[in-house]
Structure 1
């Protein structure tokens, strides 16, 4: 998130996260939420170009420099979501971001274990973190390379943290995250 003095979001301050930096294109509020809805729900894939550009603008402003060996990895979709939508929003964004940064998009290097049937959006902060433990497995060694994780929406960071931990197990160097939108923290939400 943008470096506002030494302030950290409450979710990041509550635990030890495996990400070195996280950058969001915009807050998941009106009118940005309409872009996400058009992309994910209405399946307007052309919106991915706009989302990727907003993400890249913020990365260039706040993100660290990435070397040529950095791998771009998309958060995989659950089977039900993939079947329902017909595409993985994070993978579509990862392809665009990787291409624009001149990096390799690694879209099939993460295995997703079956999770409980309750959607993440219905779980609180702690339940999300618990539900995500051990869900991801990186299928090829990362050999000390930097990794840039891509997702569409960041709520509590549980998914990205779990994937970052799996990347570390696979030998990744620094792990960063770039998301289209972040849900603004509200103490009454969870």
Structure 2
């Protein structure tokens, strides 16, 4: 009984220390956190929340990166088919429209509140519409213009990718 009375203040202080930590104090990379803080963060699940948040962020970045690569692939296919038959051009244009639409919707849903991003997304949409308009004519001048528009679209996509921190 005497041992219980001796250790009960210690146990009570551990319990109260666990209640006193906040989510911001529970950063797994904080090497200056005290022993009791680490225990309380571990038992409260705050470390797990940080890990889950970072994993979700990584998955989101990987999905966006995959969409960027699909857009690049579709732009290159569109560039290589500019001299091809009209049916193949339309297939490549449809694939580019689909992948660009997925990328724009994904970025709008996940990061749509950022003002600078809104302008970049509008520019990409405008560039895609310009490329779609130039698909009708097959003259050499129109093909050269389309190549130039596709290169500009690729630069815009690359600029957006790097501004969001998604590396190739």
TM-score, normalised with respect to structure 2: 0.28
Kindly name which structure, 1 or 2, has the bigger radius of gyration based on alpha carbons.
Answer: 2
Give the number of the structure whose residues are more often helix, by fraction: 2
Give the number of the structure whose residues are more often strand, by fraction: 1
TM-score, normalised with respect to structure 1: 0.25
Higher RCO structure (Cα 8 Å, ≥6 apart): 1
